[in-house]
């Protein structure tokens, strides 16, 4: 079941009404209901996936209790959690990748191996997200940041909480589990805030991401047929597509959680206005960046030791991040590229200078320097996405080669015949609007006058009706991760 489907628009109000107006008096019953609804939501893709999420829940629930109880062997129990979850990911996500890479390596040294070991493995939706979430629970108990819960059903509801189950945010138990285990109260203001975020998230998905998808698909599939100007346009459009798609999902997830009295962490903080790559990673997929910082970077020593070790830790984080995204060398190159750029910023001592500020912090318009910084950062990040979007390393380098060797301009024709000027205007307006709300990612319609808000709601809804295209794949990009 996906957020932008008819099934979800039936599912959500039914669950909301039963949750608040029938079951509100009993927290345990509410949590069991949430668990069942989450399993229904997740099993909608393939009921066989449910066995994996249940097994992951069962294992980390038991291990959490053992880490707390058996302190003499808590490191052993922690490693059991790590190896189990990484083992799940390794088999379902990376088995064929490792086999294919091993065969390729053998062929390079003269051994021709026929591939009979690859398996037809169906990648469970969201497995990278919920395995990291359950692992964080074990880590937090190990580091004594959290005591384990004995409420198995509450823990199962935490692991499978349907708004953020498939593509995050990746929540820590100290935030989400604590809310699930404590009584929630209905708040009209919280629900209204949630509905606004859902509306904004759907707009970004339908009007930005889905509208740009056919153009991006065409450019990357036929890059040999296009000029450099069209390839650059394709890269820029993909940056807006993946941002609209993923941040749109996060907005819907956060907004839907609000409807049930639960607050999730912000996952995107207007990353397109970042002034260097370090700031970009403080604003893009915040829950994953935070996870890596807390559970890998800091345990490795963080930035507390020598610069050489700090650089090592940064490189490890980005290579792991690339590998987390998918079983393809393109993602490894993407992670390595960001590691190189981030290390450069780190060595210049500029990796934390924008941590507590936004572009145009105390002014209406950004300075000329800030505009240049944002454009340069956007260009660097967009260039890296050639690796992210390409099907193979060969395609990525051929795309880059074509872009730098074919310095010509040729107008691009939309594959469905639509006027391209409309898309340029759409992106320009989207950027202007996001700049206007850049200081509060959780309130996209924060304007003083009701009439202004009413006009915005109307425009957003009409735009979704206008741009909705039932012929394209409406699933979210990050479902594949």
Q: Which residues of 320-352 are buried (b: 16+ CB within 10 A; e: fewer)?
A: ebbbbbbbbbbbbbbbbbbbebbbebbeeeebe
Hey, what are 310's tokens?
């700090």
Q: Are 318 and 336 in contact (CB under 8 A)?
A: yes
294 labelled catalytic:
no
Which ranges of 161-306 does DSSP label H, i.e. alpha helix? 176-180, 188-203, 210-221, 228-259, 277-283, 286-292
For residues 399 and 431, give the distance between their C-alpha atoms in angstroms, rounded to a whole number. 27
CA angle 99, 326, 278 (to 5 degrees): 135
| DSSP label at residue 181 | S
Which candidate, 348, 350, 341, 282, places its Cα nearest to that of 315? Answer: 341
What is the crossing angle of helices 368-389 and 329-347, to 10°? 150
Contacting residues for 242 by C-beta, under 8 A, at least 6 apart: 209, 385, 388, 389, 477
**3-state SS track over 378-407:** HHHHHHHHHHHHCCCHHHHHHHHHHHHHCC
For residues 428 and 380, give the distance between their C-alpha atoms in angstroms, rounded to a whole number. 19
- From residue 127, how far is each of 61, 83, 334 by CA, in Å? 17, 15, 21
Query: Residues 68, 285, 325, 338: which is the catalytic one?
Result: 325
Q: Which residues of 423-433 are buried (b: 16+ CB within 10 A; e: fewer)?
A: beebbeebeee
User: How far is residue 70 CA from its own chain's centroid?
Assistant: 35
3-class DSSP assignment, residue 180: helix
- Sign of torsion over alpha carbons 437, 442, 444, 449: negative
For residues 236 and 234, give the distance between their C-alpha atoms in angstroms, rounded to a whole number. 6
Q: Which residues are catalytic?
A: 325
């Amino acid at each position: 079941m996906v957020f932008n489907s008819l099934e979800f628009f039936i599912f959500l109000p039914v669950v909301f009404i039963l949750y608040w107006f029938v079951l509100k008096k009993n927290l345990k019953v509410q949590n069991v209901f949430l668990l069942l609804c989450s399993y229904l939501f997740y099993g909608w893709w393939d009921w066989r996936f449910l066995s994996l999420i249940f097994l992951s829940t069962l294992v980390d629930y038991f291990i959490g209790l053992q880490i707390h109880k058996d302190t003499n062997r808590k490191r052993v129990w922690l490693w059991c959690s790590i190896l189990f979850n990484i083992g799940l990911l390794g088999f379902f996500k990376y088995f064929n990748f490792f086999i294919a890479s091993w065969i390729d390596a053998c062929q390079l040294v003269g051994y021709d191996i026929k591939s009979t070991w690859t398996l037809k493995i169906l990648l469970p939706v969201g497995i990278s997200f919920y395995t990291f979430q359950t692992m964080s629970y074990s880590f937090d108990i190990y580091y004594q940041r959290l005591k384990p819960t004995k409420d198995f059903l509450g823990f199962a509801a935490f692991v499978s909480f349907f708004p953020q189950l498939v593509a995050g945010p990746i929540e820590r138990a100290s935030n989400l589990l604590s809310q699930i285990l404590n009584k929630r109260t209905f708040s009209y203001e919280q629900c209204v805030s949630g509905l606004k975020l859902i509306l904004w998230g759907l707009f970004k998905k339908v009007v930005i991401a889905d509208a740009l998808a056919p153009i991006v698909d065409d450019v990357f599939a036929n890059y040999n047929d296009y000029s450099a100007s069209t390839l650059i346009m394709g890269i820029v459009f993909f940056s807006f597509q993946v941002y609209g798609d993923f941040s749109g999902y996060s907005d819907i997830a956060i907004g839907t959680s609000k409807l049930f009295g639960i607050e999730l962490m912000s996952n995107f903080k207007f990353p397109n206005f970042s002034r260097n790559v370090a700031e970009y990673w403080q604003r893009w997929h915040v829950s994953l960046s935070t996870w890596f910082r807390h559970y890998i970077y800091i345990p490795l020593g963080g930035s507390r030791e020598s610069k050489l070790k700090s650089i090592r830790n940064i490189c490890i984080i980005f290579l792991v991040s690339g590998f987390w995204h998918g079983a393809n060398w393109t993602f490894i190159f993407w992670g390595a590229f960001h590691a190189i750029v981030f290390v450069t910023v780190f060595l210049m001592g500029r990796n934390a200078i924008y941590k507590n500020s936004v572009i145009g912090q105390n002014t209406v318009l950004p300075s000329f320097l800030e505009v240049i910084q944002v454009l340069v950062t956007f260009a660097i990040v967009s260039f890296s996405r050639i690796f992210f979007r390409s099907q193979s390393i060969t395609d990525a380098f051929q795309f880059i080669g074509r872009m730098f060797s074919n310095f010509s301009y040729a107008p691009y024709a939309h594959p469905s015949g639509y006027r391209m000027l409309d898309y340029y205007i759409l992106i320009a307006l989207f950027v202007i609007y996001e700049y206007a709300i850049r200081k509060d990612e959780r309130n996209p319609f924060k304007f003083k006058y009701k009439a202004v808000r009413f006009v915005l709601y109307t425009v957003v809804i009409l735009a979704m009706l206008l741009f909705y295209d039932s012929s394209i794949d409406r699933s979210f990009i990050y479902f594949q991760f």
